[in-house]
Amino acid sequence: MSTPEPANTFRVLVADDHPVVRIGVRNILAAVPEFQIVGECSDGEAALRMVLTDTPDLLLLDLAMPKMSGIEVLRALRLANATVKTLVLAATVDRRQTLEILQLGAHGILLKDAVAERLTTACRAVMSGRYWLGDQTVTDIVQAMADPGGLQLPDPNGTSLTARQLQIVKAVVEGRANKDIAEKLTISEETVKRHLTIIFDKTGMSSRLELAMYAVKHGIGT
């Protein structure tokens, strides 16, 4: 199998409703000769229409867009047998969404806080036929896809937790009380409680002790 010639140019469509993301992607890829941005749009309907009419090689697709979500666009592209390769851009993504995105035919997911550092590498990986899943191991995903029941399991590698939630898990492991955590992160105690509710929900744990043991066992936030 040969790698693409440097002269190859991949045509890219950027679909994201936030202008900052579109500008960022445009600026980053402008420095990479093998990628040429052929279109930009800010809603899902336009993304679908432009993929079908302009046939780009690569679609950079936001998940949360007006008119049609990224998931709905992926579903429609699948029904249309579109050959475009898709890299999903997401602010955060949980394991269930990750599986759904991959099952709908996307070739990878890039978190937005990794766009500046990883976009070029991720685009190259996808265009060479590989999948880009950031820090999530391919084995974990493949196992979960083979076992739909796995969708219900707590996420052992913690990738569904946001950076802030990982900070809170770390503080729980350190034995800090909510008030301490709030002071350390300069947020309110109520906000800590809200994050903890979401963390318990995502991990399936029901107490701080369980959460701390789970975090230590799986190396989350430690």
Partner 1 sequence: MIERELDLARTVALGDTTTDKGRTAFLEIFRAYFDNVTATVAAMRQSASTDDVKAHAHRAKGASGVVGASRLMASFDDIEACAAAGEHVTANTYDDIDRQLSALRRTLSVRLGVDLR
- Which residues here bind partner 1, judged by CB under 8 A? 17-21, 23-24, 27-28, 30-31, 62, 64, 89-92, 111-117, 119-120, 162-165, 167, 185, 187-188, 190-191, 194-195, 197-198
Closest distance of CB 168 from partner 1, Å = 10
Q: Residue 75 or residue 202: which is nearer to partner 1 going by CB?
A: 202
Closest distance of CB 28 from partner 1, Å = 5
Closest CA to 20 of 71, 57, 50, 62: 62
Q: Are 173 and 221 in contact (CB under 8 A)?
A: yes
Q: Residue 62 or residue 144: which is nearer to partner 1 going by CB?
A: 62
Spatial CB neighbours of 130, under 8 Å, sequence gap ≥ 6? 107
Closest distance of CB 23 from partner 1, Å = 5
Closest distance of CB 198 from partner 1, Å = 6
Closest CA to 40 of 110, 99, 89: 89
Q: Are 155 and 202 in contact (CB under 8 A)?
A: yes
Integer Cα distance of 78 and 80 in angstroms:
5
Q: Residue 191 or residue 222: which is nearer to partner 1 going by CB?
A: 191
Closest distance of CB 31 from partner 1, Å = 8
Closest distance of CB 113 from partner 1, Å = 3
Closest CA to 14 of 2, 33, 32, 27: 27
Q: Residue 23 or residue 52: which is nearer to partner 1 going by CB?
A: 23
Count of CA atoms in the C-beta half-sphere (13 A) of 121: 9
Q: Residue 65 or residue 173: which is nearer to partner 1 going by CB?
A: 65
- In angstroms, what CA-CA distances link 42 with 46, 50, 70, 74? 7, 11, 11, 15
Pair of tokens at residue 15: 């679909």
Q: Residue 99 or residue 114: which is nearer to partner 1 going by CB?
A: 114
